[in-house]
Amino acid sequence: MSYPATRFETLEVSADVGVLTAVIDRIPQQNAINGTLLAELHAVLDEAERTPACHLVVIRGASGVFCTGMDFSDASDSPDTVAERGGAEFLGLLKRLTTVPVMVVSVVDGRATGGGVGIAAASDFVVATPRAVFSLPEALWGLLPCCVLPFLIRRIGFQPAYSMSLTTLPVTAEQAHRIHLADELAADPGQFMRRLRQRVSKLDRATIAALKRYQRDLWFLSAETERAAVAEFTRLMSAPEVRERISGFVTAQVFPWESQR
Amino acid sequence: MSYPATRFETLEVSADVGVLTAVIDRIPQQNAINGTLLAELHAVLDEAERTPACHLVVIRGASGVFCTGMDFSDASDSPDTVAERGGAEFLGLLKRLTTVPVMVVSVVDGRATGGGVGIAAASDFVVATPRAVFSLPEALWGLLPCCVLPFLIRRIGFQPAYSMSLTTLPVTAEQAHRIHLADELAADPGQFMRRLRQRVSKLDRATIAALKRYQRDLWFLSAETERAAVAEFTRLMSAPEVRERISGFVTAQVFPWESQR
Amino acid sequence: MSYPATRFETLEVSADVGVLTAVIDRIPQQNAINGTLLAELHAVLDEAERTPACHLVVIRGASGVFCTGMDFSDASDSPDTVAERGGAEFLGLLKRLTTVPVMVVSVVDGRATGGGVGIAAASDFVVATPRAVFSLPEALWGLLPCCVLPFLIRRIGFQPAYSMSLTTLPVTAEQAHRIHLADELAADPGQFMRRLRQRVSKLDRATIAALKRYQRDLWFLSAETERAAVAEFTRLMSAPEVRERISGFVTAQVFPWESQR
């Protein structure tokens, strides 16, 4: 593959035989998600779909951080923009990860927070290194991981997803492996990835697509669930306390749990 | 909090900043569930709802027993009363644990049997000590844990819940942690509880309520399931063999698995 | 029990107090499933239903192989026959395992592949020895484990079932125990089986039947799911690439992953 022809702003993209690798690269923003990142991840998936030889898309994070969720601190963003991005746009990306006819693997080496947990959860396979840490701090903002939960529940089950959301406590790599948030725990992900890549190269893309579709049909989530996720996130984002916390963070870098209550 | 103003018959209740603790205290009855216990647990939840500063309700058992399920031996009870209590009333309590806008934690230190497993399963968080043991002996009576299962399945998944019900074999604390029946295994629950309490004190009650509601909506149980649970339990309780076993136990303390078959 | 009165072609069947044991015995075919095997397993379940004292059916495999799934190499079979057997007929057997009013235990000592994983998944209880290995290689043929997945998902959850199907990687006995594909891991299954047998002998068959029915009702799979499973398998089996791979295997014993692509 001669890809990429274009430059990316938030990703480092590289191509190898049958594999596209996207490294999230917004280090000053702790690899948080903004509109550009969502658009560029879609562009990588577009390219994967367009390239018949591509069987595997790998998502990583630069500099020991996987992805820390929605970027509240982007000065150009209004709360409404954040709500929209955190709602329909983000859910659209997660859903696409579960339908694109290639295998999507997230390699989590470092922190995955909020929406970053969602990207991992919606991936077909998650490889975690020992320094991976997963957490859902949304409730501390007065928010919920609305769009993450449908994908997290199908990956790890009801209770572990609930427990992460309610306690907001971090989950270590080893715990993540135990609850199947990480499918594989590997100090050297490269070695495992070679094995996985060799396996998946033996599958037809049509078979991967059929499996993704069939498994989705065997689960109980529906288009209704997706609408409800977006509606609930929008509702929560419109609460004055939430807006105040986000604005406090954007203007003074004060996290809600650091302020007086 | 100046609570409790009233005395309880089956619980020891104490209040601390943001926390209500209810200790099930029917030691001669092995902390079994009767109508008074259900009513008093509701009263504690009422108080939690009425107290805006309360974020946490903790349920424990006195004397190394968490709770051993329905009290068949209460001389004042007819089988119909037991059926009713084991059906709609008990299910009502479990459902309330999953909707009350505070975090509910069960600390299981010792035996949790039958309905006691249900109270743990419906709690938001379960801390088990190493001497916790969970079991569902209902099938030995010719009964099923009808009202426990909807909550147990969402907590630990279909197969572990099924396996516990069918084999009636006890599950150790370590096994319980592995299948996520216990969220945390702690020799000293106090230390973990302080950490959890500190976290949950940072959440708005409205956020806790929203999360509980939203998670329920993401699962597939319905009001129909609840009606079916009550109907099935009532049906099983009306079988002559079951009534005979209960009566044998009440009059002569003979467990069904001790009698001739 | 004086059973069996009849001889079996693909099973070794023996009866003991309250227990029927069926050992899959098609060693030259690696214990693969053909039409006779399905019919004979039904005959064993018929006998179990007819025998009021029978509480337990045990399924094993001869010679260190549990069962390696559909037999593609049976010369008498057309692809249409294989499709039919892999669809409605096989699903019918799995469904029956989940409804027959006795406890069904699979003892997996060696390989369980494809449909063999399905038999284990649909069993009430799975005991694995340390040399058990589970795998779903269907995708390498361009197929999916359509009829296995509904039962596998309810046993081990969405993600582990998906991961096995997509990666086609083998799952060791220890991993199988961790994800609850095996309920029990035992170097000496005999000892554990005696304990299980003693427990289940204390249950009424009506209670076992009621539990199986009630648990099915608490899960979200429907008759619609079953129809979709059969339809998807039939669709995949009709693809020219799939037929070519099966024919290559039948005529030259070439596995699809060994051929040039």
What lies within 8 Å, CB to CB, of A160 at 6+ separation is A179, A181, B180
What's the rounded Cα separation, in Å, for the pair B119 and B67? 8
What's the rounded Cα separation, in Å, for the pair C131 and C129? 5
Rg of chain B (C-alpha set): 18
| Nearest Cα residue to B117 out of B168, B192, B72 | B168
Identify the residue among C127, C211, C212, C216 best suited for mutation to test binding to B, counting B beta carbons within 10 A and taking the highest: C211
**CATH number for the domain whose boundaries are A3-187:** 3.90.226.10
SS3 state of residue A109: coil
The pLDDT value given to residue C1? 47
State the smallest CA–CA distance between residue B171 and chain C in angstroms. Answer: 12
Distance of CA C204 to the CA centre of its chain: 25
State the smallest CA–CA distance between residue B149 and chain C in angstroms. Answer: 8
State the smallest CA–CA distance between residue A211 and chain C in angstroms. Answer: 7
C: neighbours with 3+ CB pairs under 8 Å?
A, B
The pLDDT value given to residue A1? 46
| pLDDT (tens digit per residue) in C24-76 | 999 999 999 999 999 999 999 999 999 999 999 999 999 899 999 999 887 66
- Would you tell me the crossing angle of helices C148-156 and C115-122 to the nearest 10 degrees? 50
| pLDDT (tens digit per residue) in C106-160 | 999 999 999 999 999 999 999 999 999 999 999 999 999 999 999 999 999 999 9
| Nearest Cα residue to A211 out of A104, A94, A107, A126 | A104
| Nearest Cα residue to C121 out of C166, C174, C66 | C66
The pLDDT value given to residue C68? 96
Domain boundaries, chain C: 3-187
Contacts of B150 in chain C (CB under 8 A): 218
What's the rounded Cα separation, in Å, for the pair C108 and C189? 9
Count how many pairs of residues, chain B against chain C, have C-beta atoms within 8 Å: 74
Per-residue tokens: C129 = 């020895």
Per-residue pLDDT of chain A (261 residues; tens, 9 = 90+): 455 557 899 999 999 999 999 999 999 999 999 999 999 999 999 999 999 999 999 999 998 999 999 998 776 677 788 888 888 999 999 999 999 999 999 999 999 999 999 999 999 999 999 999 999 999 999 999 999 999 999 999 999 999 999 999 999 999 999 999 999 999 999 999 999 999 999 999 999 999 999 999 999 888 899 999 999 999 999 999 999 998 888 888 888 877 754
Q: Burial-class residue B91 by CB neighbours within 10 Å (0-12, 13-18, 19+).
A: buried
The pLDDT value given to residue B250? 84
Contact C183 B159 (CB under 8 A): yes
The pLDDT value given to residue A4? 59
Mean pLDDT over C168-195 rounds to 96
Q: List the 76-115 stretch of C: residues with Cβ below 8 A of B.
A: 103
Contacts of A150 in chain B (CB under 8 A): 218
Phi, psi of B64 (to 5 degrees): 70, 20
Mean pLDDT by 10 residues, chain B (261 residues): 72 96 97 96 97 97 95 76 87 97 97 98 98 97 96 97 96 96 96 94 96 94 91 94 89 77 48
Q: List the 153-212 stretch of A: residues with Cβ below 8 A of B.
A: 153, 157-163, 165-169, 178-179
The pLDDT value given to residue C74? 74
According to DSSP, the β-strands at A11-16 and A19-24 are antiparallel
Q: List the 110-129 stretch of B: residues with Cβ below 8 A of A.
A: 124-125
Closest residue to A199, CB basis, from C153, C169, C236: C169
Contact B178 A178 (CB under 8 A): yes
In b/e form, how buried is each residue of C85-101, taking b as 16+ CB within 10 angstroms?
bbbbbbbebbbbbbebb
pLDDT at C93 over 90: yes
Average model confidence (pLDDT) across chain B: 93
What's the rounded Cα separation, in Å, for the pair C183 and C177? 6
State the smallest CA–CA distance between residue B181 and chain A in angstroms. Answer: 9
The pLDDT value given to residue A7? 87
- Kindly state whether C243 is in contact with chain A, defined as any CB-CB distance less than 8 angstroms: no
Nearest chain B residue (CA) to A225: B218
The pLDDT value given to residue B229? 95
